[in-house]
Structure 1
Amino acid sequence: MIEKPISEWTNEEKNKANLDNVARDIIYKTLDKNMFSKIKTCTTAKEIWEKLMQMCEENDLTKENKLTLAIQKFESIKLKLGETMNEFDERFSSIITEMNALGKSYSNR
């Protein structure tokens, strides 16, 4: 598709382009350098938004998978042959810390 020159744009097309520029500017100002580098190739605010949504969904899915693995570790933890109680406690505490960081916690019971 060939874009027509800006000089041939209608008022409606100019307004849409301006709104897109404003939206992109707002999004750019809210992103850190790491996130900006992931969306800098997007050409419209809509593309940027869709890319950000995709990245967030992947983060949620990744978090859910990590939590599932941590819960499996928690439910199947056993003292290993030759392992001291201190080593077991460190392993157990590590799993609990990981689960807490992912939003899952258990009471002391």
Structure 2
Amino acid sequence: MKQEGDRKIPKVKNEMIDEEQRNLQVNGKALHMLFCALGPDMYSKMSSCMSAKKVWDTIEPTYEGTNDVKETKIGLINLSYKNLKMQPDENVMKMFDQFSVIVNGLKGFGEVIPEDKLVRKILYSLAESWDV
């Protein structure tokens, strides 16, 4: 496959080897999935990209942020985790929903907390009315 800038010029089908055909198919599927996931504004900006890697490299900083942004987000989520307390006017389900959002946010950034620590955190976060 010959390459000109961002565009790869495909060979005639007879000249392609199986691996090149598979790479083209995989790239096409990945592009399709990425384009389906993008909103209309972002799609119009990315539709001219010919490789899934180029699209991903362009949108990744927008949605995930730079390393500094990721570290800041992790710090804020950790702070929310540490400060989690059940409010007097809050029921258990509402507190657990908030807890789940925080834990899922940490998992999304690759921070996994052992289940026993999660259970203890929930128990310690309950309001005093739950003390036995």
* Correspondence 1:25 to 2:32: no
Q: How much is the aligned-residue C-alpha RMSD, in angstroms?
A: 3.2
Q: Deviations over 1:10-36 (max 9, x none)?
A: xxxxxxxxxxx96x437x643118828
SS where residue 66 of structure 2 aligns?
A: helix
Q: Distance in 2 between matches of 1:33 and 1:97?
A: 23
SS where residue 105 of structure 1 aligns?
A: coil
Q: Distance in 1 between matches of 2:115 and 2:92?
A: 18
Q: Distance in 2 between matches of 1:107 and 1:25?
A: 44
Report the equivalent of 2:85. 78
Report the equivalent of 1:15. none
1:69-108, aligned counterparts within 5 Å?
Answer: 69-108=76-115
Give the partner amino acid of 1:108. Answer: E
Give the partner amino acid of 2:91. Answer: T
Q: How many residue pairs were aligned?
A: 70
Give the partner amino acid of 1:25. Answer: D
State the identity %: 16
Higher strand share: 2
Give the one of 64, 68, 90 matched to 2:75. 68
Provide structure 2 residue ranges, at least 5 long, that are not aligned to the other structure: 8-48, 117-132
Give the partner amino acid of 2:55. Answer: D
Give the partner amino acid of 2:72. Answer: N
Q: Deviations over 1:15-59 (max 9, x none)?
A: xxxxxx96x437x643118828xxxxxxxxxxxxxxxxxx59x52
Q: Distance in 1 between matches of 2:68 and 2:107?
A: 17
Report the equivalent of 1:35. 58
Q: Distance in 2 between matches of 1:92 and 1:85?
A: 10
Q: Distance in 1 between matches of 2:57 and 2:67?
A: 18
